[in-house]
């Protein structure tokens, strides 16, 4: 009986290692891979940046504390099919790209989001990462549309989306508030059919 339990645990751990290892995607300068224990210090170091926070939702912590980092890693590590992948460069987690699937009548929509350590901005890293995440979502999840919301002035993010083939579909005028200022929100999207065309 006990040996059954031991072999089950070993099988489970092997499968977990295998599935977690499989979900890695090479980048020219590193890789996308699941979050894991040990990423916390790097996460705090790279994520705690007002210039990142200025372009993301308010729930993204600023300052980004060790407690925030532990909570993030705990809820994102070791998933069979993670929603969030760390951008790893030189062995360090220096950014994130991920998505959330919406619910109710929007349940075939995924909202994609990403951030990168300022030390690595402008090197084409997110331009490389977004098509990978887009493929990953369409291949593994029942999603018909992927969209992103970009705050006005965030030219870099808009370029990342355009380069990946996302359509600039709408501007929600002064829909967002950041730093006590109303800002336009630019909506970019890609449909499954468009993705199929792009990757044919
Ligand atoms: C947006 C962000 C992820 C871009 O990542 P990145 O790896 O630096 O982007 P890339 O190097 O792939 O650059 C993409 C394009 O934008 C341009 N770009 C990047 N930053 C720019 C800036 N501040 N102003 C103007 N253009 C910029 C690049 O020159 C490149 O243009 P190209 O495609 O014509 O060559 C990164 O700046 C970031 O983390 N910002 C803060 C968080 C954020 O905005 N998240 C997205 C919320 S929607």
Is 140 within 8 Å of 132 (Cβ atoms)?
no
Cα–Cα distance, 54 to 178 (Å, whole number): 7
Is 165 within 8 Å of 193 (Cβ atoms)?
no
Write down the pLDDT at residue 21.
55
Cα–Cα distance, 154 to 55 (Å, whole number): 7
Write down the pLDDT at residue 112.
99
As given in the structure block, the two tokens for residue 59 are 């729930």
- Testing ligand 1's pocket by substitution, the residue of 133, 156, 185, 188 carrying the most ligand atoms inside 8 A of its CB is 156
Cα–Cα distance, 166 to 194 (Å, whole number): 9
Q: Is 188 in the pocket of ligand 1 (CB under 6 A)?
A: no
Write down the pLDDT at residue 14.
57
What residues pair up with 31 in beta bridges, in sequence order?
A: 26, 88
Q: Is 124 in the pocket of ligand 1 (CB under 6 A)?
A: yes
Sign of CA dihedral 191, 192, 193, 195: positive
What residues pair up with 101 in beta bridges, in sequence order?
A: 110
Task: Please enumerate in sequence order all residues whose Cβ is within 8 A of that of 168, keeping only pairs 6 or more positions apart, or say none.
Answer: 158, 161, 162, 186, 187, 188
Give residue 41 CA to ligand 1 midpoint distance, Å: 24
CATH class assigned to 2-199: alpha beta
Cα–Cα distance, 150 to 135 (Å, whole number): 20
As given in the structure block, the two tokens for residue 22 are 């499989």
* pLDDT by position in tens, the chain (length 200): 466 677 777 766 655 555 555 699 999 999 999 999 999 999 999 999 999 999 999 999 999 999 999 999 999 997 789 999 999 999 999 999 999 999 999 999 999 999 999 999 999 999 999 999 999 999 999 999 999 999 999 999 999 999 999 999 999 999 999 999 999 999 999 999 999 999 99
Q: What are the two backbone dihedrals, phi and then psi, of residue 177, each rounded to the nearest 5 degrees? A: -125, 130
Cα–Cα distance, 85 to 93 (Å, whole number): 9
Write down the pLDDT at residue 2.
62
- Testing ligand 1's pocket by substitution, the residue of 159, 185, 189 carrying the most ligand atoms inside 8 A of its CB is 159
Residue 126 CA: nearest ligand 1 atom is 7
Write down the pLDDT at residue 8.
74
pTM, two decimal places: 0.92
């Amino acid at each position: 009986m006990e040996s059954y339990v031991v072999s089950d645990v070993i099988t489970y751990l092997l499968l977990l290692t295998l599935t977690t290892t499989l979900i890695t995607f090479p980048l020219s300068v590193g890789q996308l891979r699941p979050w894991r224990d040990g990423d916390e210090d790097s996460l705090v170091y790279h994520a705690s940046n007002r210039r990142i926070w200025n372009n993301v939702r308010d729930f993204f912590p600023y300052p980004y504390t060790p407690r925030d980092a532990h909570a993030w890693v705990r809820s994102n590590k070791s998933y069979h099919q993670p929603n969030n992948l760390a951008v790893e460069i030189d062995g360090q987690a220096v950014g994130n790209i991920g998505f959330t699937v919406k619910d109710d009548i929007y349940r075939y929509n995924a909202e994609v989001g990403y951030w990168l350590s300022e030390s690595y901005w402008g090197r084409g890293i997110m331009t490389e990462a977004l098509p990978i995440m887009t493929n990953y979502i369409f291949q593994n999840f029942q999603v018909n549309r992927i969209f992103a919301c970009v705050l006005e002035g965030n030219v870099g993010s808009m370029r990342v989306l355009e380069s990946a083939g996302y359509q600039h579909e709408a501007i929600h005028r002064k829909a967002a508030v950041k730093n006590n200022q109303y800002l336009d929100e630019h909506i970019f999207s890609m449909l499954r059919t468009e993705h199929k065309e792009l990757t044919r």
